[in-house]
Every structure is written in C-alpha cells, then in structure tokens.
Amino acid sequence: MRMAGGIITTECLDVLANHSTSAQLDILWRALCADRYSRGERAPEVYQSAMIRLMGSSSSCYQDSRASSIDIEELLETALPEHVKSFLEVARDVVWNRRTFQGNKNYNAQPIVGLIPRCAKAGDAVCIIYGCSVPVVLREQRGENDHHYWQLIGEAYVHGHMDGEGISEMSPAMLESATVEFEIR
C-alpha cells in the first residue's frame, strides 16, 4: 500500500501491524520512523507514546478496528506535544511516497514487514547486501542473450533486519547458503 503525500492509510497501518499481537505497536511506530530520530540516531522510546496518542488509544497494542488514516501534514498544523510533532516530522520524511509490504524470509516462515520504494512491485527481492547500511529492493532482469542481472530499485526499512539484525540471527551455515554473488546494473 502506497503512502502518498504523507498520508498513512488504514491499509498501510494494517500491513505493518497485522501479526504478532504482542509486538504490533512496537513494529508500527518503529517502521513509520524507520526506527530513527531526526539526527539519524536510533528512535527514542518516547515515539511509542506519540504513536499511542496518534492512534487515539491508551492501549499498548494496536487495535485495527479503531484505526483510521493519519494525515501527517494536517496533524502538524495542530497543537501537539513536542515529542508527537518530532515523531510526525520524522515519519513524514520516511514514509513520503513509500509503500508498506509484508513478505516471508527465505530461510524461515516468519513474516517480515516494512517500507519499500513506491515503484517496487510484487516479485521484487528485499536483500541485505554486504557493505550497504540498509536493506535494498532489487528487481531481476534479463538482458541480451538471456543475461541475468539485478536492477536496484531503492532502499528499504525491514523491521528487525536493520543494523545487522537480519544477518546476526542466521547460523554460519544459513548465512553461507544465503550468500549469492550477482550483478547490479
């Protein structure tokens, strides 16, 4: 689901928070700000209370039956506590014209969720590439003489797979079997 113009739709909220009930709110607020603060540091925990306030709930879990779209620009024009405004400003910059996604890891059945570029399509691969600071979206291409290569679509936020988390949870054997050399054009 695409978040055009900084509007986080109900459908986008549902994609980010439709599994693992105990962690839904954590996944939701961290994804919307890419788990970063305005200076690029890891997001402060106070952003969780900002998300609770935005959802209109004092509950610690996301309630999809109460969810509505979040128009960031409209909310920024209202009187809000500083931590909520800070969260919204970071979220606006992160989600602007991005899509939410849900998928499966190749090496286990656990679902992954996050944000991808707006031009990403079904069938694109979300990859962790050695040397890249964030996961990326790649699209398989066939060139002349059936030459196989990958096109870089853009950066991604994958909850639980930033800052080396995706690789650190893999055993050495899993890491070796998942390592692939390829050409990017």
Q: Summarize pLDDT for 128-164 with one digit per residue, the tens.
A: 888 788 899 999 998 888 888 899 999 999 988 787 7
Nearest CA to 95 among 31, 154, 18, 23? Answer: 31
Give the integer Cα–Cα distance in Å for 137 and 156: 6
Give the H or E element holding residue 154: strand 148-155
Q: How far is CA 89 from the centre of its chain?
A: 16
Look at the block and give the residue holding tokens 């690029």.
40
Provide the pLDDT for residue 88. Answer: 94
Side chain identity, residue 92: R
Provide the pLDDT for residue 128. Answer: 84
Strands 125-127 and 111-117: unpaired
Report DSSP state, residue 134.
S
Provide the pLDDT for residue 58. Answer: 33
Mean pLDDT, residues 108-122 taken together: 85
Look at the block and give the residue holding tokens 């599994």.
19
Q: Calculate what percentage of the chain has a pLDDT beyond 70.
A: 85
Mean pLDDT, residues 158-178 taken together: 78
pLDDT of residue 33 exceeding 90: yes
Specify the higher pLDDT residue, 156 or 24.
Answer: 156
Provide the pLDDT for residue 101. Answer: 92
Specify the higher pLDDT residue, 39 or 110.
Answer: 39
- pLDDT interval class at 61 (50, 70, 90): very low
Give the integer Cα–Cα distance in Å for 20 and 5: 29
If phi > 0 it is left, if psi is from -120 to 50 it is alpha, else beta; for residue 3 that is beta
pLDDT of residue 74 exceeding 60: yes
- Paired with 36 in beta bridges are 42
pLDDT of residue 38 exceeding 70: yes
As a whole number, the mean pLDDT across the chain is 82
pLDDT of residue 174 exceeding 50: yes
List the chain domain ranges: 2-95, 114-178
Q: Calculate what percentage of the chain has a pLDDT beyond 90.
A: 38
